Structure 1
Amino acid sequence: MRHTRWSRRRLLAAAGIGVTGSALAPFLPRSVAEAATQPKRLVLITNGQGTDMTRWRPMGTETDFTLSYALEPLAAYQSRMLVLDGIDNEAAIRGPGTGHFGQGTMWTGVEVPTGTVRPDEMLGWPTAASIDTIIGERIGGETKFPAYYWGTWPIATDGDNQGPNGICHYRTGTPDAAQPINPQLNPASAFDTLFDGVMGDDPAIAARIRAERKSVIDLVNGELTRVRTEMPDVDRARFDAHLDSLRELEKRISQVTAACEVPMRPDDYSESQVHDYNLVHVFTRLQFELMRHALLCDLTRVACFDWPHSEGYGNYMVEEGYARNFGSIHTLAHTMSYDVVGDTVPSDQDRAIAREDMANLQNWRSKMLATELLDLLPADVLDNTLLVWASEMSEGGTHSNRNVPIVMVQGSSFGAFTAGRYLRWGSYDPISNYSEYTGGQPMNKLLVSICQAMGLADVDAVGDTTISTGPLEELA
């Protein structure tokens, strides 16, 4: 049993008198904790190399629109969606690290500066934490992990194709460089880290969990009674009401079982298998299963998943039901738009096939989010979750950091934004990286909106304040 230290502040919070919400929720089965406010959860999904924007954009108006082929698998969630068309990864545009290096700017809101991390490009790490860290440090005090990170190969990690061309998430480091966070690529290793010491729904184990949680209730009950004697009379009536609620929970706790379901441990995969381009679809499913259970078990409330950066491959697409496999996503994107790719001048047919393949890839990603994550989350978890899916660039062939594709899915009880909308800003032409362009909104504003939606009402700026401050007002 893991023992928990109860400070005076936390005891008052448990009674509803402190500045925080109920601190008992992590110790109570979900069916008991229903009476308390469900915690908000954030899921950040990232893919590299953008997409085919011509097949990503929905058709229609703000509230009456049809999802594109790339997003169609998410149609069941359209009433909960916000499709954002016109958000600029401005920190990448301003800094020396543009294009692929926008992965280092998109969740941090700061430039990738000059440095020695990528000596060929003379680029370093961004200098600020990403919003997953900012939010996780504020809301993750009751969970095992303030934030957790999954991914699939190939993805840049610190020391392995390292650099801000593929690492999206950062902790506060030195004034000159944030600390890059490597996603866990091996599902078995992720399982061992996440579920170490976490019990599942075996009847004997559930009985023990009930006993342990009841002992926590007994402890808290006794401590709250002691605290009651120390407080002014004016507070005691409200305090007594909370004590009555606590006693009611004590009566009900023996009638319920643990809601945390520990999944089967994934098979052990060798390092070479984890780095196999052909297994991205396998690992995506395994990682999403672990993410679902980590959220259900309240092991983390900030969950991040990174699909491959620009060096990914599509060698599994036929197996997933699509017309063709393809090689490098990077080469595919260049074929969409570049005059010359390597030593080859792509034909019109080559370009059309490349765009179809890129759209198929985004369609598959949408399908994975729908069928392997959102559809399988318990309703009470999904209803209080915000999912944000973005890429560092828009049109993959032009490598533009303008108008990056962003999809948000908001749970029905999340309540921060007005969902069921397709929002457009600016005059971006996805085919031409050099066309005159005005009117986009900086990603930094969206980062502020996400922070505020997760309860960080005091956050009015994320990243470079010379880019922008304040939230993206149109989301409300």
Structure 2
Amino acid sequence: MLRGAGAIAIALPWLEIMGPERTARAAPSPAKRFLSVYTPGGTVMNRWRPTGTETSFTLGPILSPLAPVQDRLLVVDGLDLKSARGEQHQSGIIAWLTGTAQEGSNNGGYGSGPSIDQVIASRISAGQKAKASIEIAVRWATGKSHGLVSPMNAANFENAAPFKPIPPRLDPVEIFTDLFGTLDPTAGDDAARRLARKRSILDFLDGRYSALSARLGAADRQKIDQHLTKIREIEMSLDNVPVETSACKAPERVDTSDYNPRTGLNSSDNGSIKDTSTDAAIPKVGKLMMDMLVMSLACDITAVGTLQWSDTEAKHTFPWLNLSEHHHYYQHDGGFKPAECERICNWYSKQHLYLLQEMEKVDMGGHSLLDESVVFFGSELSDPPSHNKTNMPFLLAGGGGGLRTGRWVRYPNLSHNNLLVSILNLFGDTRDTFGDPRYCTGPLTNLT
């Protein structure tokens, strides 16, 4: 009621200001760290899938080891790997993070776009951290790839055309020295001397390349500029060495002398050549790799990482599980063995539990490393014997970007490209499509 002089009064329409005061709801802060974790060969879906409702559910037997962190998980069910067009395993690992098809890509059998980890790295890590991203793998490039990068094992692809595959680093000793050598109290002055020598070599190369560039044509100059960019990235990594803090500490060293990171070079196409010593060391090496990834995030060495547990062939044995044949044998080479596949997948879930709990332990100043991160677990297919790529077994974890966990969400028959663009949105990237646009209809709802 609006009152004027004397007895004059005019009725007003309902205005929002007349209602109760509303509390402003702040948009969640973008996620700060990203990890992608690959496990080969899909799963046994009826042993993977939870039961119950979205917010009140019981994890299936394969995921049951993750029960202690169920409130930090988002089980993403029902998505199809529609952009995986091409060879049955290869197209799956290529599409997993790129959302592009191997079929018709004219890119050496790879896809036709970047992987989301590299897009995220360009936004939150490249030029800001010592390393734009870190890619590591355990027992990688088995079988037909013979220890070399190929469409059978490549998950990460550069952010710029021609979107070259990024092979993961394999040697745990070399990775430890590179990432944490300056934090190692036993290294003495050796680390400082190595650092100074690397700087002097890079300074020399930078100068020579710059002088040469002025005398080259446009195409050659572009190649040289790419080399210079790589050199400057290395220089930045040398200038941004980690400093030990309450959150940042060098992982505990592990004796990996019984593990040959390049044993894939000696592999046979059918997995008949076995390296049982290296295979037996997979659990301790995998644990060390996870420790190094966690600390590389906590020490701000990078903000983006990928861990590959083998490759799409996975032609290695599992001695600690008393499984003497390789994973591909249990998937279909020897006929589908669901009980053996379940044991392998259940073991991977235990490794995922360790990774997430270690991230949760790291105090980043009133919140955990996991709170500000997004972790994406995936595979190249869903059903091993049929190579089916519907109802993909995906998991998200963490709290970055406002991700709402402790839930089981289902998206029947939608494309997983929609999940990829949704993950990018968690990092403040506002695009509404990613990968091959034929297989992306926009971000998923109900993630945040």
Determine if the TM-score, normalized by the shorter chain, exceeds 0.5. Answer: yes
Tell me, yes or no, if structure 1 residue 138 matches structure 2 residue 123: yes
1:392 pairs with one of 370, 373, 380:
380
Where 1:50 maps in the other structure, the secondary structure is coil
Aligned to 2:237: none
Aligned to 1:49: 41
Which structure has the highest strand share of the two?
1
Aligned to 1:260: 248
Contact 2:432 2:442 in 1 (8 A): yes
Contact 2:47 2:62 in 1 (8 A): yes
Q: Deviations over 1:160-181 (max 9, x none)?
A: 354222111100354xx42111
Code of the aligned partner of 2:423? I
Distance change in 2, residues 1:180/1:465 (3 Å): same
Contact 2:71 2:406 in 1 (8 A): yes
Q: Deviations over 1:48-86 (max 9, x none)?
A: 211111211111121211001111111111122111111
Code of the aligned partner of 1:169? N
Where 1:89 maps in the other structure, the secondary structure is coil
Distance change in 2, residues 1:269/1:182 (3 Å): farther
2:97 pairs with one of 107, 120, 141:
107
Tell me, yes or no, if structure 1 residue 58 matches structure 2 residue 50: yes
Q: 1:100 deviation in Å?
A: 3.7
Q: Distance in 2 between matches of 1:452 and 1:173?
A: 20
1:445 pairs with one of 403, 411, 418:
418
Code of the aligned partner of 2:326? S
Where 1:83 maps in the other structure, the secondary structure is strand
Segments of 5+ residues of structure 2 without an aligned counterpart are: 1-28, 190-243, 264-277
Aligned to 1:378: 362
Code of the aligned partner of 1:360? R
Code of the aligned partner of 2:404? T
Q: Distance in 1 between matches of 2:288 and 2:171?
A: 9
Contact 1:201 1:262 in 2 (8 A): no
More displaced, 298-307 or 367-376? Answer: 367-376
Aligned to 1:468: 440
Tell me, yes or no, if structure 1 residue 163 matches structure 2 residue 146: no
Contact 1:84 1:422 in 2 (8 A): yes
Q: Distance in 1 between matches of 2:105 and 2:151?
A: 11
Q: Superposed, which structure 2 residues align to 1:63-462 within 5 Å?
A: 63-92=55-84, 95-114=85-104, 124-140=109-125, 141-155=127-141, 160-174=147-161, 177-196=162-181, 198-199=182-183, 259-267=247-255, 269=257, 272=260, 274-275=262-263, 276-313=278-315, 315-317=317-319, 319=320, 322=321, 324-334=322-332, 341=334, 354-375=337-358, 377-379=361-363, 380-411=368-399, 414-426=400-412, 440-456=413-429, 458-462=430-434
Where 2:424 maps in the other structure, the secondary structure is helix
Q: Distance in 2 between matches of 1:257 and 1:91?
A: 43
Q: Deviations over 1:253-305 (max 9, x none)?
A: xxx95642123444464884553333322221110111121111011111110
Code of the aligned partner of 2:89? G
Q: Deviations over 1:383-416 (max 9, x none)?
A: 21111101110011111122210011123xx352
Distance change in 2, residues 1:105/1:114 (3 Å): same
Q: Distance in 1 between matches of 2:185 and 2:402?
A: 33
CA RMSD of aligned residues (A): 2.9
Code of the aligned partner of 1:279? A
Q: 1:316 deviation in Å?
A: 3.3
Code of the aligned partner of 2:249? E
Contact 2:100 2:436 in 1 (8 A): yes
Q: Percent identity?
A: 28
Q: Deviations over 1:332-371 (max 9, x none)?
A: 1116xxxxx4xxxx6xxxx5xx211111111111111212
Distance change in 2, residues 1:89/1:328 (3 Å): same
Q: Distance in 2 between matches of 1:270 and 1:178?
A: 35
Q: Distance in 1 between matches of 2:342 and 2:102?
A: 29
Code of the aligned partner of 1:359? E
Distance change in 2, residues 1:272/1:99 (3 Å): closer
Code of the aligned partner of 1:47? T
Q: Distance in 2 between matches of 1:281 and 1:313?
A: 16
Q: 1:374 deviation in Å?
A: 2.5
Where 2:295 maps in the other structure, the secondary structure is helix
Contact 1:158 1:182 in 2 (8 A): no
The normalised TM-score by structure 2 is: 0.70
Segments of 5+ residues of structure 1 without an aligned counterpart are: 1-36, 118-122, 206-255, 336-340, 427-439
Distance change in 2, residues 1:416/1:401 (3 Å): same
Q: Deviations over 1:9-61 (max 9, x none)?
A: xxxxxxxxxxxxxxxxxxxxxxxxxxxx8972111101121111121111112
Where 2:158 maps in the other structure, the secondary structure is strand
Q: Distance in 2 between matches of 1:39 and 1:330?
A: 36
Code of the aligned partner of 1:308? S
